[in-house]
């Protein structure tokens, strides 16, 4: 399927039936093939839309620079053409910023968000430094390769290694620097995703699913936040990667379905 957003051709998959519809969104420098296994499972229960962002996968690269605002517009164009009435964004990593903005703009049309492996707390300085490094021509490859090494060092999953090395590595400086710039802007503006969610006029239900880090403090801080905010839930999987939809799609699909059926 395709739709035009800001003059750019956006490609997406539309499979399954039933609402609320799942809108599966990959992170920066990550094509929609990230969801190839998860969509096969989720679409047996409900309709799934899986989008390639501008300049990603099969979607057209815009003639001009773009950022999170254009990603939000692309997502809204897909929803409008698909005549969706209720949608639950399933957001990998920093596409979570897009999910939050969709809730801000569309309100009750977005009753719930599913966040997959995201740095939802205030980021450490090392991470913010990496975002700045991605924006320099001298150091972007070094920073990117360090990220890849960290993502793959403790993970024996061949699917994840292939996805990172054969798909994410195809993106060059322009896209990686754009990713660093846009992610940095969002953290600078909101301090953390949890704070951004907290500041919404009416936060939706939010479910964060992740495997690593195994640092107990990362989980404990989220559990404390959940105790204080009834709309937030967190679940750590018994996995070893930042790619739960590839590493354990069945568990992720089961959690999503249970979450959508919860009262």
Residue 178 forms part of a structural domain: no
Q: Is residue 154 predicted with pLDDT exceeding 90?
A: no
pLDDT-based confidence at residue 263 (cuts at 50, 70, 90): confident
Q: Is residue 214 part of a domain?
A: yes
Q: What is the mean pLDDT of residues 88-101?
A: 98
Q: CB within 8 A of 166, min separation 6: which ones? A: none
- Kindly give, in sequence order, each residue whose CB lies less than 8 Å from that of residue 202, ignoring residues fewer than 6 positions away: 107, 108
* Residue range 237-255, pLDDT digits in tens: 999 999 999 999 999 999 9
| Residue 155 pLDDT grade (very low, low, confident, very high; cuts 50, 70, 90) | confident
CATH number at residue 93: 3.40.50.1820
Catalytic residue among 56, 94, 207, 242: 242
The CA-to-CA distance between both ends of the chain, in Å, stands at: 33
* DSSP-H helix ranges across 107-215: 125-134, 140-152, 158-162, 173-190, 193-198
Query: pLDDT tens for residues 166-224?
Result: 999 999 999 999 999 999 999 999 999 999 999 999 999 999 999 999 999 999 999 99
In a domain, 230, yes or no: yes
In a domain, 157, yes or no: no
Residue 215 in domain: yes
pLDDT at 53 over 80: yes
Q: Is residue 166 part of a domain?
A: no
Based on the residue annotation, tell me whether 94 is a catalytic residue of this protein: no
d(CA 75, CA 98): 8
Q: Which domain holds residue 241?
A: 2-121+192-261
Counting the structural domains of the chain, the total is 1
Q: What is the pLDDT of residues 98-151, one digit of tens each?
A: 999 999 999 999 999 999 999 999 999 999 999 999 999 999 999 999 999 999
Residue 132: phi and psi, rounded to 5, are -70, -40
Residue 149 lies in a domain: no
Classify residue 228 as exposed, middle or buried by CB count within 10 Å of its CB (0-12, 13-18, 19+): exposed
Rounded to 10 degrees, the C-alpha dihedral 28/110/248/74 comes to -30
Tokens found for residue 109: 């049309």
Q: 232-236 and 87-92 as β-strands: parallel, antiparallel, unpaired?
A: unpaired
Is 136 a domain residue? Answer: no
């Amino acid at each position: 399927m395709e739709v035009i957003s800001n003059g750019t051709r956006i490609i997406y998959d539309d499979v399954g039936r039933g609402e609320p519809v799942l809108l599966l969104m990959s992170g920066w420098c990550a094509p929609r093939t990230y969801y190839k296994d998860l969509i096969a499972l989720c679409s047996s229960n409900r309709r799934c839309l899986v989008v390639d962002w501008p300049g990603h996968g099969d979607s057209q690269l815009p003639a001009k620079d773009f950022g999170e605002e254009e990603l939000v517009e692309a997502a809204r164009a897909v929803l409008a053409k698909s005549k969706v009435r209720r949608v639950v964004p399933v957001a990998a990593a920093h596409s979570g910023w897009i999910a939050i903005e969709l809730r801000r703009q569309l309100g009750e049309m977005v009753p719930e968000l599913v966040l997959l492996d995201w740095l939802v707390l205030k980021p450490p300085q090392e991470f913010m430094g990496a975002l700045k490094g991605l924006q320099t021509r001298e150091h972007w490859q070094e920073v990117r390769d360090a990220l890849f090494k960290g993502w793959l060092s403790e993970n024996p999953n061949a699917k994840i290694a292939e996805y990172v090395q054969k798909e994410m590595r195809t993106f060059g400086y322009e896209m990686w620097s754009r990713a660093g710039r846009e992610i940095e802007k969002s953290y600078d503006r909101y301090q953390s995703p949890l704070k951004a969610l907290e500041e919404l006029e009416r936060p939706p239900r939010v479910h964060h699913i992740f495997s690593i880090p195994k640092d107990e403090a990362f989980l404990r801080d989220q559990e404390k936040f959940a105790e204080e905010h009834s709309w937030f839930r967190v679940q750590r999987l018994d996995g070893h990667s930042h790619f739960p939809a590839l590493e354990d799609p069945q568990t992720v699909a089961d959690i999503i379905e249970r979450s959508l059926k919860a009262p």
